[in-house]
Structure 1
Amino acid sequence: MPRPALSVLDLVPVRSGQTTAQAVAASLSLAAHADRLGLRRYWFAEHHNMPAVASTTPPVLIAATAARTSRIRVGSGGVMLPNHSPLVVAEQFAALEAMAPGRIDLGLGRAPGSDPVISQLLRMSGTTSDVERFPEHVNDIVSLVSPDGATVRFTSGGTYDVHATPAATTTPEVWLLGSSDYSAQLAASLGMPYVFANHFSGAGLERALDLYRSGFQATAQNPAPRTFLTVNAVAAPTQDEAEQRALPQLRMMARLRQNRPLTALETVEQAQAAASEFDSMGEQIMSGVRQTWFVGTGESVAAEVRTFADRWGVDEVMLSPVSGSFDDEPMDAAPGRVQTLELVTSALGD
């Protein structure tokens, strides 16, 4: 099987006792490492008001990462468009493209990225019904970041030209993200590249890809469908260490799905000490989630990546490195996540 390209999805995890500054420093270091390893792209996801997630502002993180890297593409996975004005998003990513020409990806999603209270706070200047205008806003952004800009047409007559930046020579690549039939069909109808959020659960993957590929409407920019897939992964020198490093994130997933109070991410030792916290349902959730993750040695995870890419006909797999930390590991680094990227990249070879 051919070697699939590797990319990274980062939620900027925050572990117990770690400050936001330390968590961001760890992720920026990881991004620089991914750049040196030759990975294809590095994306930040938008989430809000979660104790274990510091990726609240992808454009800010993208700017910092672009400044610390030289070749890897950097982007959002994604910006949750209903939370933001299309013009503001277009201006942010046009500026990012000007700072790192040819290296910026704008992944757009329709989900809120948080709970209803936070969604309302994010949308105080607009209305929650904007989610229904998602297709329109996607088209607006594509037009606004282009050199020609967009045109506002008034109902009373007349027009007004709008540009996200005065004189664009290159534009960010816009992707649609999703985990449902809706996003796949929309991406196909607009002739846009598409990413299925397989790291959520994987449910509906086959149907989404079929809808996207069979319904794709070619454009000059995208003459054929383009897609890759995401997956949660932990790689370590031994299977036992990999399973240990996966435990904190597995327990966080069980809390999320049982609507338990969220906390900063546990260390491996904290997670092991609290192993009896969950009832049988919580244990079933963790077991089910674990079955969809790639956890093992570099060689075994690389083999799973190859098989996964071949099964779904993609040439790129985006890893969300969900490797936890041990108590004695530095707060401003992520050795487990670095190790995952290093081992899988090495095992995949050239």
Structure 2
Amino acid sequence: MTPPTLSVLDLVPVREDQSTSDALAATLSLARTADELGYRRYWLAEHHNMPAVAATNPPVLIGMVAGATRRIRVGSGGVMLPNHAPLVIAEQFALLEAAYPGRIDLGIGRAPGTDPVTGWALRHGAGGVTDEAVSRFPEYVENVLAMMDAAGVGLAVQGRTHVLRATPVATSVPTVWLLGSSDYSARLAAEKGLPYVFAHHFSGSGTAEALALYRSSFRPSPELAEPSTFLTVNASVAEDADEARRRALPQLLMMLALRTGQPLGPQVSVEAAEKVELAAGQREIVEAMAARWVIGGPAEAREQVARLAATYDVDEVMIHPVAGAAVGAEPTGSPAREETLRLLAG
């Protein structure tokens, strides 16, 4: 099997021994590592009001990461469009593209990425993330595309047409991707002729069906002549397979809490995670999640990644490095996450 091209997804995790400043420093170190190793792209998520996730503002993070790296593409994985006015997103990413031409990806999602209270606050109390914002998602995507184009878009106001541009003189635009964990965005991406990514790292089921729907329904567009997609996967890799499994425990416990409605907190250390006793039903959930992740030693993990790429017929796999930290790890770094990237890169 031909090894796929590798990329990185980062949620900017916050451990119990870290401040937000520490977590950001660790992300910049991880991004530099990915850049040095030849990873293709580095995407940053959007989540709000979560004690273990500092990725609240993808455009700000993208500017930081792009400025700290040399060649890697940097993007959002993704911007949750119902949380924002389309013009704001178009302006932010047009500026990023102008600052780092040819290196910016705009991944767009339809989910709010937060709880209803935070969604309400995101829109200054003006109704929050409403059903209307979600239902108008296709229109908002079109608006973002049109506003970032050099020609801009004509806006009719009081009988006159006004030209609206995200930036005065665009010479290039970011690559726009649609993201999703259901078949909705697969259909929309195919209809609009845009690249598409299914959240395999989060959902773990329905990937083959979503990709098949996207490929079979795809309509060529000025942006894209044929379907373009890749796979996302959680990974914990160490020189020893048992150590890789230990390092995966903190993230597995975090996902268990998220899926069973337990209170969330900062990510615990590997040692603290090992001491947690799970009920039989909880162990089953954890084991089922772990079975869908890439966990193991270098050769085994690289083979798993290549097998996943072959199974889903993609030439790129985006790694979400989930290896936790041991007690005493440097707060401004994430050595186990960096080692995952190094060992997968070979």
Structure 2-normalised TM-score? 0.97
Describe the SS at the equivalent of 2:239: coil
What is the alpha-carbon distance in structure 2 between the residues aligned to residue 256 and residue 282 of structure 1?
12
Which residue matches 2:274?
A: 272
Structure 1 residues 319-330: aligned runs within 5 Å: 319-330=319-330
Asked if structure 1 preserves the Cα contact closer than 8 Å seen for 2:120 and 2:127, the reply is no
Name which of 197, 202, 205 aligns with 2:204: 202
The answer on 1:292 being equivalent to 2:295 is no
1:221 Cα offset (Å): 1.9
SS at match of 2:230: strand
The answer (yes or no) to whether the contact 2:250–2:273 under 8 Å persists in 1 is yes
Deviations for 1:267-326, whole angstroms, at most 9, x for unmatched residues? 0011112x21x3222211111111110000111111011111111111100000000000
Q: Which segments of structure 1 move beyond 4 Å, counting only runs of 4 or more?
A: none
Alignment of 1:133 onto 2:116: no
SS at match of 1:314: coil
Q: 2:253 — aligned with what?
A: 251
Structure 2: 5+ residue runs without aligned partners? Answer: none
Q: Which residue of 1 aligns with 2:167?
A: 165
Counterpart of 1:77? 77
Are the equivalent residues in 2 in contact too, given 1:237–1:298 (CA < 8 A)? yes
Contact conserved, 2:79 with 2:109, CA < 8 A, in 1? yes
- Kept in 2, the 8 Å contact 1:201–1:289? The answer is no
SS of residue in 1 equivalent to 2:215: helix
Aligned to 2:190: 188
Indicate whether 1:58 and 2:61 are aligned: no
Mapped partners of 1:67, 1:126: distance in 2: 36
Q: Secondary structure at the match of 1:60?
A: helix
Deviation, 1:153, is 2.2
Contact 2:155 2:162 in 1 (8 A): yes
Structure 1 alignment gaps of length 5 or more: none
Counterpart CA distance in 2 for 1:165 and 1:201 is 36
**SS of alignment partner, residue 246 of structure 1:** helix
The answer for the alignment partner of 2:154 in structure 1 is 151
> How far off its partner does 1:134 sit?
0.3
**Does the 8 A contact of 1:184 with 1:209 survive in 2?**
yes
Please tell me whether the aligned partners of residues 47 and 55 of structure 1 are also in contact (alpha carbons under 8 angstroms). Answer: yes
Q: In 1, distance between residues paired with 2:53 and 2:299?
A: 29
What is the letter of the counterpart of residue 164 of structure 2? V
Deviation at 1:207, TM superposition (A): 1.1
Q: Deviations over 1:48-68 (max 9, x none)?
A: 111110000111110001111
Give the secondary structure class of the aligned counterpart of 1:281: helix
3-state SS of paired residue (1:265): coil
Q: Distance in 1 between matches of 2:126 and 2:226?
A: 38
Q: Does the alignment pair 1:120 with 2:123?
A: no
Q: Hey, what's the Cα distance between the residues in 2 that align with 1:202 and 1:150? A: 39
State the SS of the aligned residue for 1:118. Answer: helix
Task: State the Cα distance separating 1:125 from its structure 2 match.
Answer: 4.2
Preserved contact between residue 73 and residue 103 of structure 2 (Cα < 8 Å): yes
SS at structure 1 position matched to 2:255: helix
Give the distance between the partners of 2:105 and 2:149, measured in 1 at CA: 14
Instruction: Tell me if the contact between 2:120 and 2:126 (Cα under 8 Å) persists in the aligned partners.
Output: no
Answer whether contact 2:98 2:170 (CA < 8 A) is retained: yes
The structure 2 residue matched to 1:239, chosen from 233, 237, 241, is 241
Query: How many Å apart are 1:17 and its aligned residue?
Result: 2.1
SS of aligned partner of 2:320: strand
Kindly state the Cα deviation for residue 126 of structure 1 after the two structures are TM-superposed: 5.8
Deviations 1:167-203 (A, max 9, x none): 0001111000001111100000000000000001221
Aligned length: 343
Cα distance between partner residues in 1 of 2:292 and 2:310: 16
Task: Output the CA distance in 2 between the equivalents of 1:291 and 1:3.
Answer: 21
CA-to-aligned-CA distance 1:91-129 (integer Å, 9 cap, x gap):
000010011000000000001111111111112346512
Cα distance in 1 between the residues matched to 2:21 and 2:247: 22
Q: In structure 2, how many angstroms separate the alpha carbons of the residues matched to 1:119 and 1:189? A: 28
Q: Do residues 178 (structure 1) and 197 (structure 2) align? A: no
Question: How far, CA to CA, are the matches of 1:324 and 1:3 in structure 2?
Answer: 25
Percent identity (aligned) = 53
| CA contact 1:149–1:161 (8 Å) conserved in 2 | yes
Q: Does 1:301 align with 2:301?
A: yes
Contact 1:77 1:177 in 2 (8 A): yes
Counterpart amino acid of residue 206 in structure 1? A
CA distance in 1, matches of 2:177, 2:153: 19
Deviation for aligned residue 1:220? 2.2
Which amino acid in 1 is paired with 2:230? F
User: 1:21 is matched with which residue?
Assistant: 21
